Amino acid sequence: MSYTGPDFEPSQPHRSPLRRALTVAVAALVPGALLGWGVYAAVGGPGEGDGGGSGRAGGAGTPAAPSSGAPASGAPASSPGDGDGDGKKPAGSSPAPTSKAPSASGPALPASGPLTGKVVVIDPGHNPANFRHASEINRKVNVGTHWKECDTTGTATNAGWPEAKFTLDVAHRLRTLLQEQGATVKLTQDGDRSFGPCVDERARIGNEAKADAAISIHADGSGAGNRGFHVIMPGSVHDGAADTRAIVAPSAELGERVAGAFVRVTGTAPSNYLGDGTGLVTRTDLGGLNLSTVPKVFIECGNMRDRTDAALLTSGSWRQKAAQGMSEGIVSFLRG
């Protein structure tokens, strides 16, 4: 930037003592400032990351997700799923994934903030290594009202980027945002298991943590042209080991707040194929909800099999917005 004006005219022949003193002081400070900048540059300043300039994409070492049109990396394409294992392509038929580097830093300690004392459980749907354990994830488990498969491989973009990597990346981003608000955050899995956990254990983790709120993160595998997100809330179930009656109302409030914040922050429209344009769906067949004793919702962030949605889901900056929308909804719910 250039400046003009009397303060920036060439020096006059005669300087006052005060001006001479200021000149000496500036001359002494400049080398120190340059040295400080050199040290900063050598050790590295704040990274840009892939999170829309936030640099908060989970722990250090978490692999960057691809841009739209990512190469195939190991999850199968699938039919529309429910985010809890049903309807998504069974394990055992996917190509080998690229190597996955787990988070190196682990979860940070919660900061003080408006959510101090609150516990949030984040459930990143599926597991990138599930396809290697077909017999284990096809094992039936009791989900209260019926028996179903332990888990599935999840879906993938047409280019092969797996839902399980998407969910874990968003979970890391969401964890960071909630911890900055003071919350204690627990993940059901953090790339630290060879498969699973099964859907019944995912619910149990939230229950045992006595979570004030729990959210299961997914992306759908519906047909091309089906776009948008939807939040799934538990319906009233009282059958066998399932009893959701106490959590139906608070879960509905959590779902509504998450959906509202998600629209506002991401600019993404609610699903055009489920929820009648509200982005809200109630279900009674999902074990992860039926077995929960704490307020819980699922969110299907978009349709990985639609090219337009896939371009969003594979964008790091959009995933940061998705995490921010979820965080704002959860914070709003917990603060009342």
CA 103 – CA 99 distance, rounded (Å): 13
**Rounded mean pLDDT, 297-310:** 98
Q: 227 in a domain, yes or no?
A: yes
- What is the model's pLDDT at position 12? 39
Predicted confidence (pLDDT) per residue in 17-43, tens digit: 434 443 434 344 334 433 333 333 333
Q: 55 in a domain, yes or no?
A: no
Q: If pLDDT is split at 50, 70 and 90, which confidence band does 336 have?
A: confident
Q: 42 in a domain, yes or no?
A: no
Q: 246 in a domain, yes or no?
A: yes
53 or 131: which leads in pLDDT:
131
Number of domains in the chain: 1
CA 214 – CA 186 distance, rounded (Å): 9
CA dihedral 44, 167, 201, 328 (to 10 degrees): 80
Q: 96 in a domain, yes or no?
A: no
Instruction: Concatenate the DSSP letters of all residues of 83-103 into one string.
Output: SSSTTSPPTT-SPPPPP----
The verdict on whether omega for the bond into residue 197 sits within 30 degrees of 0, i.e. cis, is yes
Q: If pLDDT is split at 50, 70 and 90, which confidence band does 112 have?
A: confident
300 in catalytic set:
yes
Predicted confidence (pLDDT) per residue in 54-104, tens digit: 333 333 333 334 543 333 333 443 333 444 544 343 333 333 333 333 333
Q: If pLDDT is split at 50, 70 and 90, which confidence band does 15 have?
A: very low
CA 7 – CA 183 distance, rounded (Å): 52
CA 298 – CA 171 distance, rounded (Å): 13
CA 233 – CA 265 distance, rounded (Å): 21
- What is the model's pLDDT at position 22? 37
pLDDT of 45 over the 90 cut: no
- What is the model's pLDDT at position 106? 52
**Rounded mean pLDDT, 257-276:** 98
Instruction: Concatenate the DSSP letters of all residues of 154-195 into one string.
Output: --B-TT--BHHHHHHHHHHHHHHHHHHTT-EEEES-SS-SSS
Residue type, 41: A
Q: 59 in a domain, yes or no?
A: no
Q: What are phi and psi of 234, to 5 degrees?
A: -75, 140
**Rounded mean pLDDT, 163-181:** 98
Domain interval for residue 232: 119-335
CA 216 – CA 85 distance, rounded (Å): 12
- What is the model's pLDDT at position 109? 60
> Is 0.75 surpassed by the pTM of this model?
no
Q: 320 in a domain, yes or no?
A: yes
Q: 98 in a domain, yes or no?
A: no
Which CATH number is 292's domain given?
3.40.630.40
Could you say which of 201, 256, 300, 328 is catalytic?
A: 300
Nearest CA to 211 out of 235, 259, 178 is that of 178
Q: If pLDDT is split at 50, 70 and 90, which confidence band does 298 have?
A: very high
Please give the helix or strand (H or E) that residue 303 lies within, else none. strand 296-303
Mean pLDDT taken over the chain: 78
**Rounded mean pLDDT, 147-153:** 96
Tokens 């900055």 found at: 180
**Rounded mean pLDDT, 294-302:** 98
Residue 181, Cβ neighbours under 10 Å: how many? 22
Least confident range from 82-86, 98-102, 198-202, 292-296: namely: 98-102
- What is the model's pLDDT at position 25? 40
